[in-house]
Structure 1
Amino acid sequence: MRTTVFFIALILVTCMSFAQRNKKKNQKISEEKKSEINRESKMQHEEFEDTFREDEEKQMTLRFIDAKTGNGVQNATITIQDFGDFTTDMEGKIVFPNIEKDQIILCQFNCSGYITATFKTEVIAGSLFYNRFTVSPVLKLGSIRIVLDWDSKPGDLDSHLEKKNVYHISYRNAKIAADGQAMLDRDDMDGYGPETITAMEISSEMDYDYFVHDYTNQYKGNSDQLSKSRAHVMVYGNNKLMNEFHVPAGQSGTKWNVFKISGGQVVPVNSIGN
């Protein structure tokens, strides 16, 4: 009798423990989903706000985002060629008079604790082709930071950095490499980015591959959504913006092979396939 009571009690305790763990897990998933929805709504609001400002107020907006946190960078000095200096507000944005003539404009970002970088964007028919730039906190010598940004769609693009026969950094395989030398700083699943990978040390004796996978359309090999995403990748290293890549237009496929690293040097690939 005592044995039966004991086993019944044990089963009840086990079931309650499982239910509590499952509840906590569901709560965590729910909180993460709520955070994603809130961020997506915020991004959509910002996009609407910037478009309204261009159309109705005849002013343009540039936004500067921290590569590790995804938050706007405040009190940065932005120098726009032929237009002067501006200071980012608490959202990491600047607003300046509309540019009516189609042209490429250059803007330099400068802020304490961040890598100084110069970006370019294009004015087409009175609108900025791209107005969000992700900036990197200062890095230690010998390390690199790879930043992926894109438009609102596809919702989920994934960064992959593979050190041949050593590690494969992505959302799925490892957020921190087995040798501790690389990590996925930020995973973005609801559009725009940034999605960020930092490699603390790049060996000149090893080969690396970096590519982007369209997770949203992973089962649609003939999809052209990756090509239409306005995705671009920036590579920071030696405390400067070393390389910038833009997704090829007019191609089908869900895998963008962006670059390799061989002999310690970034080698462009920039092709789309599956």
Structure 2
Amino acid sequence: MKFKLVIPFLALVFSNNVGAQDISVQVLSAVEKDKVISNAEVMIQRNGESSAKSLTNNQGRTTINSGFPDDSNTLLIIKKDNYSSLVVKCPCNDMTYALSPYMKNLDGMRIVLNWGKNPYDLDSHLTFPGNHIYFQHQKGASSNLDVDDTDSYGPETITIENKRFGETYHYFVHDFSNKDNLSSNKLSASGAKVFVYVGQSLVKTYYIPKNKTGNVWNLFKINENGEIVDINNVISKTTQDIGINYADNDREEEVYVSNEDKKRALQLNRKGDQAYQNKDVDAALEFYKQAIEYYPTFGQAYGNLGLMYIKKGYKAEAIYANRKAITYASGNSINTTKASAYYNIAKIFENENDFEEALNYYKLAKELKENTVYDNAIIRVRNKIAQ
């Protein structure tokens, strides 16, 4: 009898570790070419369970015996003082990741591209009026290509020091290794990921769509009012067409969210509200982030997240979250919601003595909703500008 009871237990233990493997990574700086990051803390997490932590060595490398399979249900987490924490879905083994130093500018953004061994050369591109930032033109108006990589893995990094109000920005990735092959699927199979940072935080991660044909990954635009519009598709372009208007391929990404995931998001949003009422801002912030993970177009959760960022003093992140709340605003009170978010953004700029930018956003709020608060704010900042 004892023998019969032990066998199923052993089988269960064995099955829980099927597919488990060591995961080796290298950590570099996102803004200094080939600079390794030593003593970065690396951890693997799956279903809320975490592996032992490991520190990178003098070559920026570490190997973790995580006990978990290296698949999309496993997360890699990298932390280092004065750098934004990185969280990414695996597969991660033999990959290189880059950490972004904290950004100081209120309306800046850093965009970091990483990929696998093949193709060898993927290029980051950023276009906006009068500017095209890429390997042949690395500096532009308040924007630059910090790191260019031509031998696999990345990073390739573009930093926008200050976004210019009223101008549209467009970010995309070109498969330079297959620039002449419009029917290539190598880009889609590259395992490419793009990490977007504002302030001290990683605010968005894009994963290359799989099983697609094309040599350009068309990721997102930033519209005239600063709102990020996700596109996230793979298209084909000749070298001569790179950087030319992609209007036909710029449809906003359609995100499917199941009713079950929407229900989970609503529950998490309510938990965030309760945590905030209990004055636990950190817990509330995490609940709102989790709600957005389940429901990426949940405008109300973004608005709540923006408030928590303000409470934490994360002003750049608060601007980002309010812009997403504007993008995904819906329902009968859509104009009120958007106007309120524009007002929140304007108030941040005003408190930082950027009165011109504050005026721009107070005006946007007033265009959507008549309110004496907006009128008074416009008068106030105009007086400050005139002083």
Please tell me the residue identity of whatever aligns with 2:30: A
Q: Distance in 1 between matches of 2:25 and 2:102?
A: 21
Q: Can you list the C-alpha shifts for 1:3-55, whole angstroms capped at 9, x where unaligned?
A: xxxxxxxxxxxxxxxxxxxxxxxxxxxxxxxxxxxxxxxxxxxxxxxxxxxxx
Q: In 2 relative to 1, CA 59–75 (structure 1 residues): closer, same or farther, beyond 3 Å? A: same
Shift of the 133–247 alpha-carbon distance from structure 1 to 2, 3 Å rule, reads: same
The 2-side partners of 1:129 and 1:78 are apart by 13
Higher helix content, 1 or 2: 2
Tell me what 2:126 maps to.
Answer: 161
Q: Paired residue for 1:146? A: 111
Q: What displacement does 1:94 show?
A: 2.2
Change (3 A) 1:228 1:80: closer
Count of residues paired in the alignment: 208
Deviation at 1:78, TM superposition (A): 2.5
- Which residue of the partner structure matches residue 218 of structure 2? 257
Distance 1:102 1:93, change over 3 A: closer
- Corresponding letter in the other structure for 1:170: Y
Superposed, 1:172-187 pairs within 5 Å as 172=136, 174-177=137-140, 179=141, 181-187=142-148
Q: Deviations over 1:71-95 (max 9, x none)?
A: 3210112243321322111122222
- What displacement does 1:145 show? 1.0
In structure 1, how many angstroms separate the alpha carbons of the residues matched to 2:70 and 2:118? Answer: 25
Q: Distance in 1 between matches of 2:53 and 2:184?
A: 42
Q: Which amino acid aligns with 1:150?
A: W
Mark the CA change 1:144 to 1:218 in structure 2 (over 3 Å): closer, same or farther.
same
Distance 1:75 1:100, change over 3 A: closer
- The ranges of structure 1 where at least 4 consecutive aligned residues each deviate by more than 4 angstroms after the TM superposition are 100-103
For 2:152, the equivalent position in structure 1 comes to 191
Rounded Cα–Cα distance in structure 1 between residues aligned with 2:174 and 2:70: 32
Q: Name 1:269's counterpart in structure 2.
A: 231
1:244-274 alpha-carbon deviations (Å, 9 max, x no partner): 1111111111111011112223221111112
How big is the shift at 1:240?
A: 0.6
Task: Give the residue type in structure 1 aligned to 2:143.
Answer: A
Unmatched 5+ residue regions in structure 2?
1-20, 237-387
Tell me: higher relative CO, structure 1 or 2? Use CA pairs within 8 A at least 6 residues apart: 1
Matched, 1:110 2:79: yes
Measure the CA separation in 2 of the matches of 1:132 and 1:168. 27
1:84 to 20, 29, 52: 52
Preserved contact between residue 127 and residue 133 of structure 2 (Cα < 8 Å): yes
- Tell me what 1:43 maps to: none
Computed over aligned residues only, the root mean square deviation of the Cα atoms, in angstroms, reads: 2.0
Return 84-93 or 220-229, whichever deviates more: 84-93
Query: What SS class does the counterpart of residue 172 from structure 2 fall into?
Result: strand
Question: Residues 143, 102 of structure 1: CA spacing in aligned structure 2 closer, same or farther, 3 A cutoff?
Answer: closer
Closer, same or farther: CA 249–119 of 1 in aligned 2, 3 Å: closer
Equivalent residue in structure 2 for 1:63, among 3, 11, 26:
26
Q: CA deviation at 1:136?
A: 0.6
The answer to whether the 8 A contact 1:121-1:131 is kept is: no
Matches within 5 A, 1:6-45: none
Distance in 1 (CA, whole Å) between partners of 2:179 and 2:70 is 36
Query: Is this contact kept in 2: 1:208–1:261, CA < 8 A?
Result: yes
Asked whether the equivalents of residues 150 and 230 of structure 1 are also in contact (C-alpha less than 8 Å), the reply is yes
Task: Give CA-to-partner distance per residue, 1:129-166, whole Å, 9 cap, x none.
Answer: 67432211121132111111111221211110011x23
Write the distance in 2 (CA, Å) between the matches of 1:169 and 1:215.
Answer: 15
Identity over aligned pairs, percent:
32
SS of the aligned residue for 1:91 comes to: coil
TM-score for the superposition, normalised by structure 1: 0.70
Q: Which residue of structure 1 aligns with residue 39 of structure 2?
A: 75
Q: Which residue, out of 160, 174, 178, partners 1:213?
A: 174
SS at match of 1:216: helix
Secondary structure in structure 2 of the residue aligned to 1:206? coil
CA distance, structure 2, for counterparts of residue 115 and residue 150 of structure 1: 19
**CA shift in 2, pair 1:215/1:113, >3 Å:** same
Q: Secondary structure of the equivalent of 1:114?
A: coil
Give 1:201 deviation, angstroms: 0.6
1:39 alignment partner in structure 2: none
